Amino acid sequence: MSVHANYIAGSWVEGPDASKNVNPSDLSDVVGEYARADRAQAEQAIAAARAAFPKWSMTTLQERHDLLDKIGNTILARKEELGRLLSREEGKTLPEGIGEAARAGQIFKFFAGEVLRIQGEKLASVRPGIDVEITREPIGVIGLITPWNFPIAIPAWKIAPALAYGNCVVFKPADLVPGSAWALSQIIVDSGVPAGVFNLVMGRGSVVGEAFVASKDIDAITFTGSVGTGRSIALRCAELGKKVQLEMGGKNPMVILDDADLNTAVGAATNSAFFSTGQRCTASSRLIVTEGIHDRFVAAMTEKLKALKVDNALKQGTDIGPVVDQSQLDQDLSYIDIGVKEGAKLAVGGERLNRETEGFYLSPALFTETTSDMRINREEIFGPVASVVRVKDYEQALATANDTEFGLSAGIATSSLKHASHFKRASQAGMVMVNLPTAGVDYHVPFGGRKGSSYGPREQGRYAAEFYTVVKTAYTFPG
């Protein structure tokens, strides 16, 4: 089996080490071997991006538009192939994998359009005869560090705006699932990106990520991952004067009020908490339910979860695939044990499952009779585990929903316009959903949270310009 190489300064380059990418649905299936860069290769990639920046930053809008549009079209034409690769290496179901690949293509096409819509302002000065122009310019070299749970969509929503606004890129995907990132990188390379403008450097965060953060030739870091790593990156970037964008954890609430349509509430809660095996930063692992609907909701959720099919991600009819690897499975099982010891009732699931192929299968777990102070309601589990918290009324539900150090996404199921409108305003989250799952956002609107979930400008949509560009104010006196 040949090793998939890194891409540095316009050439595919073998690394000093390699890792095997294993299918979590079938541990006997090796997706491929992927190079791991050392610090020297990471620094070579950074140097290549720095050297390419002056020319790339001055390219025409048409050149950048054409490149991004070509990339987007290629991804969309290959979405089934890319989606199958994604599901094979990460474990989300095949429909989810194909949907994520399609989203990556849509993101590139959106930013191909944004290239042609880069805006500025021209103002009159308070001084006579002087013009003022406000423009946006590229930052320079941007280090991209992406997670394993969305291995093609998150790289896309970082790479596309970086290139659209004239920046150069050094890209480190998650070491656990490099396959989708490598396939995306090959598409970018084959689309004609100039040497040095885009660089793929696979490897460990402690090596490649550390090189990104330490380098004086990287002007900005965009990171999606754990809270601890994100905060460490922020401190290092502050010391070096780098611009930083962080998307970190979540402990997202889904409120179900007495007046909610039960089917809508159960559908939204099931999707939010358990689809993609619960491995989404926007997953709602806290289901906050008022007394009048509580028992009916728990009974309906229990039956719904028992009916879900947990199996190989590539099998037709699978609702939930495997957990991504042994480490994550161990963490999920540990939290299930913690919940039981804390006095929560394990209403359904939480069991290790055996299937036709050996994999990391776990039945979706639902806890009831929980309280907000339990660890399972305070800490991000990042698996198919959710808790029901019983509350008296809307006011207590809102207070419970906001009682967290995180603030990424929040949802409410209700037929009350009054409560829906109030929740949208009073929820301390960056994204709010009414009668919809907390996970799942459009590619053309901003993504991000508050409190401990996010730091820096928003990702995606037109708001991406806030991170990927710097504002310049220029004065002219014609004389």
So which residues are the catalytic ones?
247, 281
Residue 181 to residue 285: CA distance in whole angstroms: 28
CA angle (418 as vertex; 414, 419 as ends), nearest 5:
45
Residue 16 DSSP symbol: S
Which of 223, 102, 123, 133 is closest to 173 using CA atoms?
223
Give Cβ neighbours of residue 216 (< 8 Å, ≥ 6 apart). Answer: 240
* 3-class DSSP state of 277: helix
- Residues sharing a CB contact under 8 Å with residue 197, sequence separation 6 or more, in sequence order: 49, 52, 56, 163, 168, 169
Nearest of 473, 436, 478, 464 to residue 160 by alpha carbon:
464
Q: Tell which residue, 71, 75, 89, has the closest CA to residue 27.
A: 89
Torsion of CA 405, 408, 412, 417, to 10 degrees: 110
* Backbone angle region of 276, left / alpha / beta, with phi > 0 → left and psi within -120 to 50 → alpha: left
Q: Which long-range contacts (CB under 8 A, 24 or more apart) does 21-24 make?
A: 21/89, 21/177, 21/178, 21/179, 22/325, 23/88, 23/89, 23/91, 23/359, 24/89, 24/90, 24/91, 24/313, 24/321, 24/322, 24/323, 24/324, 24/325, 24/359, 24/360
- What is the torsional sign of CA 176, 178, 179, 184? positive
Q: What is the DSSP string of 329-367?
A: HHHHHHHHHHHHHTT-EEEE---EE--SS---EE--EEE
Residue 469 forms beta bridges with which residues? 138
Give me the count of residues in the chain. 479
SS3 52: helix
Q: In what order do the strands lie in the sheet with 385-391?
A: 345-348, 365-370, 385-391, 286-290, 253-256, 409-413, 431-434
Strands 345-348 and 243-247: unpaired
| CA 381 from centre of chain | 16
